Amino acid sequence: MEKKGASKSTRPTGLFFGSFNPIHNGHLCIAEYMIEFAGLKEVWFIVSPHNPLKDKATLLSDQYRLDMVETAIAGDDRFRVSDIEFHMPRPSYTIDTLTRLSELHPGRDFFLIAGTDVLPSFHKWKNYEQLLLQYRLMIYPRHGSENHPLLRHPSVTAVDAPRIEISASFIRQAIKEGRKVQYFLPHNVLSYIGKMGFYLR
């Protein structure tokens, strides 16, 4: 498969934003696909602080979610986790984080990794036009918005990654109900969740 979307001039690095509450195998499959099939060299997981659009009652603390990502990617030098948004003004905005990371890592060519589900509300993002002008997006398929006009924008690459519809909310509910989810999560993350007693209520 032809690798497209990533520049050869600098180190192409994908930024995968999320609450990762918890990180699961769907996240990791998408991240690996972006490296092995879409031309990126690394993927950084950007753990986001509390999103005002999400229920805070179900959101673990920033540090616990960061710890789970670190646990999931331990030993794989293709991946990195970042807590940069923990130290920025809130609410955090993607364009501000991208700008800050570009300042800190001038040798990186950053790409924003996101699913098609973000496209309908993308015009509501802070300075979304600047984001499209200065950065590139690598969009993987999720349910809905597969034919959104933004997929034809020159700064957007539609990546033909496998469609993976595992959701963190599904996993949290399953754990609460006492169901087994051993194949939805990395084993070490599931062990950490069990040890800490997360998502039981």
User: Does residue 4 carry a pLDDT above 50?
Assistant: no
Q: Give the pLDDT confidence score for residue 198 in this predicted structure.
A: 97
Helices (H), the chain: 25-36, 62-73, 94-104, 128-134, 168-176, 187-196
What φ, ψ does residue 171 adopt, rounded to 5°? Answer: -65, -45
This prediction has a pTM of: 0.92
Q: pLDDT band at 7, cuts 50/70/90? A: very low
Provide the residue ranges of all domains of the chain, joining segments of one domain with +: 11-165
Written out in words, the top-level CATH class of the domain with range 11-165 is: alpha beta
Condensed to tens digits (0 to 9), the pLDDT of residues 127-175 reads 999 999 999 999 999 987 778 999 999 999 999 999 999 999 999 999 9
Q: What number of residues does the chain have?
A: 201
Place of tokens 């950084």: 44
Q: Over the range 7-17, which residues count as b (16 or more CB within 10 Å of their CB) and which as e?
A: eeeeebbbbbb
